Each structure stands twice: as C-alpha cells, then as structure tokens.
C-alpha cells in the first residue's frame, strides 16, 4: 500500500484463462444473450487453421449467427479500418452485430476495437483521434488472443498506423476494453519462434515500463474523470512484478522449445499480468521511441520495443534504483554491490534481446544515423508517453537514449563503443 496512490483501475468484466477455452466460448456468448456477431481475424487463421470454422459452427449450433471478416493485417492502418467499416456496413445491410469477437494477435484485436467504434455510425476512425465522446455507441468486444504478448485484450487503446502522419496513433477510451478477455494458451502453441520472441519481449516490456513509470500521484490525467491510463500504483506494480518474474523464468524457454507447455502457459500469464499493470499505469519512453522506430523500419511492435528497452532501463538506473534492483535480482543478478547489480540489469536485458534473435542496437536494426534527429522528433511527438517518463529533461533524455541505442553502448561501458562509426 502507498497512501498517496490515486488508483483508477479498470479490468474486463470477465477474464478467463483456460487451456482449450475456445471450445467453450460459444456457450458463454449464448449465455450472455448475444445472437449476432462479427468475428474479426486475418487470412491465416481463416484458411490455415480450423479455429474460425469450428467457432462459427459451434456458434450456429448455439443459435448465434457469426459474420467473418478476415482482412486483418499486421500493424493495421486507419485506412484499413475505414475500408472495413464501409464493407461490413454494406454486407450487414443496416443490421449491426451485438458483439464483435477478435481472434489473433494485437493487430487483429486493435482493429476489432476500432471497428466496435466505427461500425455503429460509419464514421472514420480519425474522427476519434482527439477522444471518444460519452454518447458515442460502442459495440461489445470479446477478445481471443493467439499470442502471449500485446495484452491488448485488457487495455483501453486501439493502436493504428496513420499513413497521413507516418506514425502510430492511439484511440483511447475505457469502453474500448473488451468485455471478455478469453485467453486459451493452446492458441499460442503453434506460434513460430520469431513471433514467440517478439510477443514475449513485448509482454516483458509492458511489465518493466509500467513498473518504473510515473507515479499515479503525479501522473497527468489531462483533466479526465475516467482516464485510460493513470500512473503506477501499488496495485499495478504487484501485477508487473509477477509478470517480470514469469517472463524471466519462461520467455527464453518458450522461444527455445515451442513444445514446452509449462513455458507457453507461463508466458500467457506473464502477458495478462503485464496488461493488468500497464493497462492502468500506462507506458513511457520505450513505446514512445519504438513508435518512431516502427515508422522508419516497419518492423514488428515487439522487435521495435526490444531494441530500445535496455537503453531506456539504463537511463533510469538512478531514479528507479530500488525497483530496478528488485528486477535485477529476479533476473538472477547476484552482485553484492546494489549499484553494480542495477547497472548489470540493462546488460542482462540486451543479452536476452540478442538471444531472442533480435538486433540489439538501432544501427543493426536498419536505422541510418542520419535519421536519428527525425526519430527524436517523432518520439517526442507521442506526448502522452513522453510526459509519463519519470526524468526531468525529457528531450535530453530521449536524445541520449536514442544515441546510445544506435551505437549499442550502455552508460557504464567504454566510450570507444559509443564513438565508433
């Protein structure tokens, strides 16, 4: 407990974690009174797995009609959402679904969130960039993730890439949180190693970032009485702590052996706990800079987070010493000097990123040095994340993080590495 906490915590109406639960979900949908649904997924799940047809058939037997939209894509765009809105409204002929089910990774879940908002009135998703009014109708959403990482099934934001600006944009409202988060770990068992690695490091990033983000007592809620994100508290930190422990135990195991059932289930729990933390506490510099990295490289969200993560944690070694010492111990750092132990943590994280097959610096990630100034501008432009970073001079801190991330050097390493071309 922290007596100065200002807790504003939102969880889904129903959170379910159960092996094989996808087979039981139609019964819950019927029980909740839904009768006409939209399943949002992508071509892979619709054609290369039996999951979509099995779910639709089971719903039909339960008296629930399902329409399938399989046009989901990685990093969905605002344009994709608007096209899907127009196409689906034409197909439905004015009969809107009473619920939307998303099946897939964070991209499909985010697209489904956006469609829950745009389908009722046919509005463009950009209309909601500055907020969602209280009278805007939003369709109920049931999220079924197939990866252990994004946590989008528990969070209030729909993240879409806006081609007009070249960066990712967030549409935020607590009513965009799915009413049911149905996690079936079996759906992650066939994830290839790259997806396992990138989604898993995403979960760890969520947990770490929310564990060290700005406190709820000083978090800028922008005057909102119902903020999507409201800073870290003792409650969010308890979820983050458990997520970090699980990821430290199971992430590399899961990547190295996809048939390790215990590790697969462990990472599903790590992802959920991370989302329970950051879904209220919020995030900061890792995601803020990673959005800019994604705009330059168009690489996956998990990978863009991973390449930045060690350098952001390195910048916080003093201001978040107590918290990062705890994390260092979780990751097996045994140095007796507490300061040295904390300094070892960013190296541990960079080592983990490399073991997961992800580049450990921005240069190797494909970003030219000439683009670093643009990257800094784009990163600072995500103001909601910059304001949450618990350091004084945000612009200077971001610039140093980006420079070190490009050269691949941490603060306690030799300067030759930082100045090498």
Interatomic CA distance for residues 97 and 368, integer angstroms: 46
What's the rounded Cα separation, in Å, for the pair 39 and 71?
11
Report d(CA 261, CA 91) in Å as an integer: 41
The CA distance from 42 to 49, in Å, is 11
Alpha helices in 183-233 (DSSP H): 193-211
Whether 113 contacts 78, CB under 8 Å: no
Contact 343, 320 (CB under 8 A): no
pLDDT reported for residue 414? 62
User: Measuring CA to CA, which residue among 125, 146, 136 is closest to residue 51?
Assistant: 146
Please name the residue that has the structure tokens 């308890």: 238
Q: Tell me the C-alpha distance between 181 and 23, whole Å.
A: 15
**Cβ atoms 395, 406 nearer than 8 A:** no
8 A C-beta contact, residue 105 and residue 150: yes
All residues at 6 or more sequence positions from 3 whose CB lies less than 8 Å from its CB, including other chains: none
| Nearest Cα residue to 385 out of 290, 243, 270, 272 | 290
Q: What is the chain's pLDDT, residue by residue, as a tens digit (421 residues)?
A: 899 999 999 989 999 999 999 999 999 999 999 999 999 999 999 999 999 999 999 999 999 999 999 999 999 999 999 999 999 999 999 899 999 999 999 999 999 999 999 999 999 999 998 899 999 999 999 999 999 999 999 999 999 999 998 888 899 999 999 999 999 999 999 999 999 999 999 999 999 999 999 999 999 999 999 999 999 999 999 999 999 999 999 999 999 999 999 999 999 999 999 999 999 999 999 999 999 999 999 999 999 999 999 999 999 999 999 999 999 999 999 999 999 999 999 999 999 999 999 999 999 999 999 999 999 999 999 999 999 999 999 999 999 999 999 999 999 886 444 433 3
At 62 the pLDDT is 97
Alpha helices (runs of H) in 70-163, residue ranges in sequence order: 78-92, 106-118
Query: 257 near 129, Cβ under 8 Å?
Result: no
pLDDT for residue 421: 33
Asked if 117 and 138 touch (Cβ cutoff 8 Å), the reply is yes
Q: Is the pTM of this model over 0.75?
A: yes
Phi and psi of 218, rounded to 5°? -125, 5
Domains defined along the chain, listed by start: 14-188 (3.40.50.1970), 193-407 (1.20.1090.10)
pLDDT, tens only, 200-241: 999 999 999 999 999 999 999 999 999 999 999 999 999 999
Q: Strands, E, within 94-208: which ranges?
A: 99-104, 140-145, 157-162, 167-172, 180-183
Q: Which of 360, 195, 191, 219 is nearest to 278 (CA)?
A: 219
Which residue, 285, 120, 271, is CA-closest to 183?
A: 271
Say how far apart CA 78 and CA 251 lie, in whole Å.
32
Q: Is 51 helix (H, G, I), strand (E, B) or coil?
A: helix
């Amino acid at each position: 407990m922290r007596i100065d906490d200002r807790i504003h915590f939102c969880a889904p109406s129903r959170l379910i974690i159960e092996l094989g639960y996808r087979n039981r979900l139609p019964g819950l949908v019927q029980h909740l009174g839904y009768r006409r649904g939209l399943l949002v997924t992508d071509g892979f799940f619709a054609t290369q797995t039996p999951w979509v047809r099995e779910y639709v058939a089971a719903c039909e037997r339960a008296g629930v009609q399902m329409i399938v939209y399989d046009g989901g894509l990685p990093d969905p765009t605002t344009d994709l959402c608007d096209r899907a809105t127009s196409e689906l409204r034409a197909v439905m002929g004015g009969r809107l679904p009473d619920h939307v089910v998303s099946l897939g990774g964070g991209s499909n879940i985010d697209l489904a969130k956006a469609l829950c908002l745009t389908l009722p009135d046919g509005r463009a998703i950009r209309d909601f960039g500055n907020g969602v009014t209280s009278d805007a109708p939003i369709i109920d959403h049931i999220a079924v993730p197939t990866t252990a990482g994004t946590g989008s099934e528990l969070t209030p934001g729909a993240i879409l890439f806006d081609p007009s600006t070249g960066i990712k944009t967030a549409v935020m409202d607590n009513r965009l949180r799915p009413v049911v988060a149905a996690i079936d770990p079996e759906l992650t068992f066939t994830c290839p190693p790259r997806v396992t690695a990138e989604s898993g490091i995403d979960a760890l990033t969520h947990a770490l970032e929310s564990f060290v983000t700005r406190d709820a007592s000083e978090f800028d809620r922008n005057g909102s009485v119902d903020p999507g994100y409201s800073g870290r508290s003792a409650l969010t930190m308890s979820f983050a702590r458990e997520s970090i422990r699980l990821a430290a135990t199971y992430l590399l195991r899961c990547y190295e052996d996809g048939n390790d059932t215990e590790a697969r289930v462990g990472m599903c729990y790590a992802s959920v706990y991370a989302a329970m933390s950051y879904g209220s506490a919020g995030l900061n510099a890792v995601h803020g800079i990673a959005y800019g990295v994604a705009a330059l490289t168009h690489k996956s969200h998990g990978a863009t987070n991973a390449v930045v993560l060690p350098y952001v944690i390195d910048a916080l070694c003093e201001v978040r010493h107590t918290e990062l010492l705890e994390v260092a111990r979780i990751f097996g750092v045994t140095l007796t000097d507490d300061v040295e132990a904390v300094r070892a943590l960013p190296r541990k994280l960079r080592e983990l990123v490399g073991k997961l097959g992800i580049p450990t610096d921005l240069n190797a990630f494909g970003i030219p040095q000439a683009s670093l100034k643009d990257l800094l501008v784009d990163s600072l432009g995500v103001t909601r994340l910059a304001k949450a970073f618990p350091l004084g001079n945000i612009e200077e801190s971001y610039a140093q993080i980006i420079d070190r991330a490009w050269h691949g050097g941490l603060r306690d390493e030799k300067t030759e590495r930082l100045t090498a071309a």
